[in-house]
Structure 1
Amino acid sequence: MAKPYNQIVLFGDSLFQFSSEIKEGFSFQGALQSHCMRYLDVINRGFSGYNTTNALKLLPQIFLPPSPSNPKIEYLLVLLGANDACIDLPTNNQKVPIEQYKENLIKIITHEHVKAHKPKVLLITPPPLDEIRIEVLDLAKGHPQATRQAANSAKYSETAREVAREVPGVTLIDLQDAIMEKAIALTPGVTKSSSPPLGYPGGQRGALEQFLPDGLHMSGMSYKILYDLVEPHIGPFPEGESVFPDWKKMNPVAI
């Protein structure tokens, strides 16, 4: 029987689906795979448009218990909430109420199919939102107003933080705070206490436009921030103990 690699699974929405792409010369999934090459496979289960209700519904089909033919999940990265945080509109039905969002997140990371693998769970907050840019693009698409609001999206990020604090063994990756901190640092005259914050109505986009070109999806710069947050939690891997042997063991030198 073939010897499978154990896995790192990226579970989420378009923010993970698009992480396989090369943006400004950087690919999050590619960099992560390079980091754990010969030890783990990086499996992308990001689904554009999905909210936590969608993800939870399909979870039993996506995550099967470990078996000889189904590799063990060593790390599970969960990034969901950008779609849950949509507002109620006749033209959009992705919204999940914040209380349900929290319940769904807990059910996902504690699901029996997930727990069977005993993975290290990294729960990632949704990134910040540039509502200024979102509104322009959403109006052009025929929506009566912006489908997402920066202040509301920030509440969903805070809810993800709450889940990480409340569920034992879960590691928080605070992507929202990290991207905002970097954008503020690159925007002259703006601080954490500035009001309104970057991306909020009445304010400015500032450097946030470099990290969220369409107001929602991440640039290569944002994915690099995410990688730098995640990488310290993956590994270390024992030298010389990869799934298949080193070439020097395959081709020993006769002495």
Structure 2
Amino acid sequence: MPIYILIQVTSGYSSPQGLVMLDQFFPPVERDKVRLMTVFFGANDAVLPPYKQHVPLQTYRQSLRDIVTHEAVRSHKTKVLLLTPPPVNEYQFEVLDGTSGPAAPMRSAENTKLYADACREVGRSLGIPLVDIWTAFMKEAGWVEGEPLAGSKKAQPNQKLAALLSDGLHLSPAGYKIMYQKTMEVIRAKYPEEAPENLPMLFPPWDKAPYHKTCT
């Protein structure tokens, strides 16, 4: 059976919106099987009120639970990875959210940490493997537990964290590299049968592939 990688990107969505869309992501189980799925919500849920994207922390927790235990996931026997939201950098993001002026901030480093913690808790309670993007980025930034959060305006600007984010929220190429590396580490540790090197090839290697009759 061919193996395809389907990237479903829902720009700006929060976890309850992703939950509503989940049925549309899964093909009929009789036709195809979804072997592995990553769930990467939280960055938009963590927007501060009164902004529209804000999702209360408990609702976020429940939405993650509902996604990973969804009927479609169960019927496909899909393996799931939870990814924490990455940290935010308030210094970079202030250009977008107007916090250098009179407008209320949209995001904070402290609030985003709460959503990363909640994602971690859901993974632990349900036995779902976790890719801890938040911790990986903070480690790269040199943050030490007990100090003001890297990315918070309560701390000095952190150039190492800034290098991982293009605008204080979205990942830069360096950030995506860490995300990829950590995701592959968890796949190989928890779902080794889904590692690229262990998947069957759809087509034979070039030196074993047949030639068209016009070339013989």
Runs of 4+ in 1 over 6 A off after TM superposition: 140-143
- 2:35–2:77 contact (8 Å) kept in structure 1: yes
User: What does 1:69-218 align with in structure 2 at a 5 Å threshold?
Assistant: 71-89=32-50, 92-139=51-98, 144-168=103-127, 170-184=128-142, 191-193=143-145, 195-206=147-158, 207-218=160-171
**Do residues 5 (structure 1) and 5 (structure 2) align?**
no
TM-score, L = length of structure 2 = 0.85
Structure 2 distance, partners of 1:244, 1:141, is 55
Would you say how many aligned residue pairs link Structure 1 and Structure 2? 203
Higher strand share: 1
Query: Amino acid of the residue matched to residue 126 of structure 1?
Result: P
Contact 2:27/2:33 (8 A) holds in 1 = no
Q: Secondary structure at the match of 1:126?
A: coil
Q: Percent identity?
A: 36
Native 8 Å contact 2:109 2:149 kept in 1: no
Alpha-carbon shift at residue 195 of structure 1 (Å): 3.0
2:102, 2:18 → 1: CA distance?
25
1:47 maps to what in 2?
10
Q: Give the RMSD, CA atoms, in angstroms.
A: 2.3
Distance across 1 between alignment mates of 2:56 and 2:25: 24
For structure 2, list consecutive stretches of 5 or more residues without a partner in the other structure. 188-193, 212-216
| SS of residue in 1 equivalent to 2:98 | helix
Q: Which has the higher helix share?
A: 2
User: Are residues 136 and 145 of structure 1, via their aligned partners in 2, closer, same or farther at CA, if it must alter by over 3 Å?
Assistant: farther
Work out whether residues 106 and 163 of structure 1, in 8 Å CA contact, stay in contact via their aligned partners in 2: yes
Between the two structures, name the one with larger relative contact order (CA 8 Å, sep ≥ 6): 1
| Cα shift at 1:174 | 0.3
